[in-house]
Each structure stands twice: as C-alpha cells, then as structure tokens.
Amino acid sequence: MIELKNIYKTYTRKGISIEALKGISLKVEKGDIFGVIGYSGAGKSTLIRLVNYLERPTEGQVLVEGKDLGEYNVKELRAAKKNIGMIFQHFNLLESKKVFDNVAIPLVLLKKDKNEIRKRVLELLDFVGLSDKANSYPSELSGGQKQRVGIARALASNPSILLCDEATSALDPQTTRSILQLLKKINAEYNITVMIITHEMSVIQEICNKVAVMEEGRIIEQGSVLEVFGHPQHLTTQNFVKTVIQNSITDSVYKSLKPEPGSRVYKLEYMGSSASEPTLYEMIRAYDVKVNILFANTTEIQETTLATIIIQLKGESSVVDQALSFLRNNGVGVEEVESNVVNYSYN
C-alpha cells in the first residue's frame, strides 16, 4: 500500500548538506495505523512528507498502491495526491474562511458542483461532530475542534490514506485522546490506512498496530506495536517504552531489599493468555521456593495484556531452576535482574 524503498534525502542550504534520511525502507499495509516515533530532528516530518511527495527523495522509491510516485507526470501526481489526505500539528486552516468553506476547499479545487459540495461537507462535519460549527471561523474554535475541521478537510476527497504530522502535539491529553479515537473510527469505518508521526509513545500505544522507531535519519527498530513494546531491542526504543510502561523496581523498594545469600531477583513477563493464568500461584504450590513480589504492572496494548512482575526468589538453587523452567514452559518470559542481591552496592 505504502512502500519506501531505500530512501535517502539530503537538504542543501547555503552550501551545507544535511542528510535527513539515510536508507529508509518500510512497508505500510492497507488498514494499518502505522506510527513513526523519534526525537526531534530524527527525520519524521521529512519521511511523512515523502509519502505525498511534498518532498522528493534524493535517492530511492516511494510506492503508493504499488506505483512509483517518481514516475508520474504532474497530472498523474495530482490525481495520486487526491488519494492521500494530511493533517498537521498546527491545523493549517484558513483563518479568513468559515469552517464550512475550509472543509470545502479540496472539493472546490476538484471543481465539484455546489450541491455535491454542500452535501459532502455537511456529512463530514456531522462525522467529526461539528455540525453546529459550519458558520464559525477557526478563531472561534478550540484546538481539538480545529483539528476536527482539519480531519474533515483531509477526508473531503475520499482518500484511502491519511497522513498525520504530529496531529495531537498541540493538544491537551484529553483532547488528544478524543482525536485519536476519531482517527481510529476513520480507520475502522472508512478502511483508511493511517500513518502517524509523533514523539509521544502514548499516541502509538493508544491507536497504532505497527511502529517504526527513527533516530538520526534511520529506522532503528520496527514491528508490531505488541512486539516492540513487549521486547524493545534498542536503547532509544527502551527509553520510549519506559515513558508509558513502568517495568522496573521503584527506588524505595530497591533500597529496602535485604541482601540474602541464595536469593535472586527475576523479571517475569506475561503476554496475552499467559497473563490470565495463575502460573505464579501454581509455581509456589509445586516448588519449595519463597516468593517476594517487588513490583507488578499491567498494560493493555492492541487489546492484549502485557504484565511485568518483579520477584525475589529464595530456595535451593536446583529447585529455583526447576521453578523458573516451570514458568518458562507456561509462556512466561523470565529474566534475571540481578545475579544475587548480596552483590547490591548498598548497606
């Protein structure tokens, strides 16, 4: 549906070259809500602007619906862009035009007749929950309402792809949530593929099914949101995941741990069905080990539960090993956090 093949993008300003993208390849399938996350300057905006050819790649191919945008003439490119809507961080509405006229812009440009425009705009305003604001000016709207107008305008020409460039970054958390829910509804009801760039992992967690993590013009990690949140490989990804999922012992618990010979600390990770089974209880019943729960957290991602429990385990070494094998055999991820609490560097 959207495919970027080995993309390089170099900007040249006053004789200085900036390599914004360095060999990006990714695939967004039809129906995906695909998130791209990265810190400021990672190249996210450049990447999303390539998808509708607001920027052209220096090298590499951008394929939309299997067609290379670079091979289109001006007319074909204009037709292809009609299929791609876009919304922006600062909404980009025309302040001098009423809400109705802002939403109508793409249809006017497509030279649709007046009755058709009226019908479509009213339908879209109803869809985004702004039927009563048709005659208001953007300056009379809240940020969330302005973004709803931006969304209605982006949908006017019936696109099959919606690009969102930091679309919720200027909004408060509650408004962000309502806009994200609207994007989810657009994806589900109109079967529109959504591509989102953001620097907030909570946005990815809330609605995306796939994610790519960018750093310095490269994709350092990509996959399903569940995979990437469950097992982040790269340090930057781990830092992003930490902003939404706490998975380590709090300082106070860490400091209160008593050094004990034969006692070890393990992080247990449960995903999906393993989270609803009483495996820890069964382990305690079956093996002669003492369990002290130091930390527990559950999160829901893509309607799947992800749970982390950190335990201190005490018992005879061979029995501890058997107990841990029991957990692993029952789908629980087991990782030793510290080899031995005796080695902790506190008094």
Ligand X SMILES: Nc1ncnc2c1ncn2[C@@H]1O[C@H](COP(=O)(O)OP(=O)(O)OP(=O)(O)O)[C@@H](O)[C@H]1O
Interaction site with ligand X (CB under 6 A): 11, 13, 18, 20, 38, 40-46, 199
Indicate the residue among 90 and 199 with the shorter CB distance to ligand X: 199
Residue 153 Cβ vs ligand X, minimum distance, rounded to whole Å? 22
Indicate the residue among 11 and 190 with the shorter CB distance to ligand X: 11
Residue 42 Cβ vs ligand X, minimum distance, rounded to whole Å? 4
Residue 89 Cβ vs ligand X, minimum distance, rounded to whole Å? 9
Indicate the residue among 48 and 180 with the shorter CB distance to ligand X: 48
| 17 contacts: CB under 8 Å, gap ≥ 6 | 10, 11
Cα 267 from Cα 335, distance rounded (Å): 5
Name the one residue in this structure whose structure tokens are 């000016």.
Answer: 137
Residue 49 Cβ vs ligand X, minimum distance, rounded to whole Å? 8
Of 285, 286, 341, nearest to 313 by C-alpha is 341
Indicate the residue among 214 and 324 with the shorter CB distance to ligand X: 214
Residue 285 Cβ vs ligand X, minimum distance, rounded to whole Å? 51
Cα 35 from Cα 210, distance rounded (Å): 6
- Do the Cβ atoms of 301 and 208 come closer than 8 Å? no
Cα 186 from Cα 179, distance rounded (Å): 11
Tokens representing residue 117 in the block? 């425009």
φ, ψ of residue 338 to 5 degrees: the values are -135, 140
Residue 306 Cβ vs ligand X, minimum distance, rounded to whole Å? 27
Q: Are strands 2-13 and 59-64 parallel, antiparallel or unpaired?
A: antiparallel
Of 49, 160, 51, 152, nearest to 105 by C-alpha is 152
Cα 1 from Cα 283, distance rounded (Å): 47
CB atoms within 10 A of CB 210: 23
Indicate the residue among 163 and 324 with the shorter CB distance to ligand X: 163
Indicate the residue among 69 and 214 with the shorter CB distance to ligand X: 214
Residue 172 Cβ vs ligand X, minimum distance, rounded to whole Å? 19
Cα 104 from Cα 228, distance rounded (Å): 40
Tokens representing residue 164 in the block? 């969102």
Indicate the residue among 41 and 331 with the shorter CB distance to ligand X: 41
